[in-house]
Structure 1
Amino acid sequence: MARYRIRQIGLDGNDLTTMIEFWSAALGYELAHRASGYAVLRDPADAEPRLFLQQVPEPKVSKNRAHMDVEVADETAAVDRLVQLGASVLWREDFGTHHWTVLADPEGNEFCVGHFG
């Protein structure tokens, strides 16, 4: 079977500028390309995956069907920093050696930050 890799992750939202500002600061990514209605952010070292941000007219109405898990060394510091950038804390989970905080970006897209074993 062929080996596949995730090249890019897409997120939708209403305010493209807010998404660019939040996710660039949150991940340390830089703007690679911007056009009408979308933008691509990339890791400065060109590691994958890239982040594809797409402006859509409809609001988020329920939980995302996919979300990112962002591994960090210091969960508390990372969550505090992300909240300062505009994220909202939704809840915290602990499962054995796995622990994480579920957050929402300024557009309501849910993602997790923590240690995943």
Structure 2
Amino acid sequence: MRLVYVLDTNDLRLAGEFWTAALGFEPVDVPNRPYLELKDPNGRWPDLLLQEVPEPKTGKNRMHLDMVVPDLHAEVPRLLALGAVHREGPVEEAHHRVVVLADPEGNEFCVIDHLTGGGTAR
């Protein structure tokens, strides 16, 4: 089995540019639209498959990505400069500092750093 994350988008080019830069992944040409595959060049993380859909996003994501980073104060401004939108935070919860952002189409994701100790994020 291989796990792949799929994210719906209305603008495949815009979403591809954002998530490629945000994650440091490389785009892989998929012969047939409506898909764009993004791969971790080091093979550590599951692929992110962007799927172009006609309907706009409505409501809160039922599943989202968490980006656990070593320096929240450096990563959040970098993502905002790429086109992310600030939604919430930073807030502290369960030994983590969390900022909720959204990609240019409104798909929420969390940027998280560890304050102390171990554990998992949200």
1:91 to 88, 93, 96: 88
- Give the match for residue 102 of structure 1: 100
| Structure 1 contact 7–48 (Cα < 8 Å) conserved | no
| Structure 1 contact 72–78 (Cα < 8 Å) conserved | yes
Q: Which amino acid aligns with 2:33?
A: S
Pairwise CA distance, 1:48: 2.6
- Percent of paired sites with the same residue: 48
- Give the match for residue 56 of structure 1: 53
Q: Which amino acid aligns with 1:87?
A: A
- Give the match for residue 114 of structure 1: 112
TM-score if structure 1 supplies the norm length? 0.90
- Give the match for residue 23 of structure 2: 27
In 2: Cα distance, 1:7 partner to 1:20 partner: 19
- Inter-CA distance 15–38: structure 2 relative to 1 (3 Å threshold): same
**Which structure 2 residues correspond to residues 1-20 of structure 1 after superposition, within 5 A?**
7-20=3-16
Q: Which amino acid aligns with 1:103?
A: L
Q: CA-atom RMSD, angstroms? A: 1.4
Structure 2 unaligned regions, length at least 5? none
TM-score if structure 2 supplies the norm length? 0.87
In 1: Cα distance, 2:94 partner to 2:36 partner: 38
In 2: Cα distance, 1:96 partner to 1:65 partner: 21
- Give the match for residue 74 of structure 1: 71
Matched pairs, number: 113
* SS, match of residue 36 in structure 1: coil
Q: Deviation above 6 Å: which 4+ runs of structure 1?
A: none
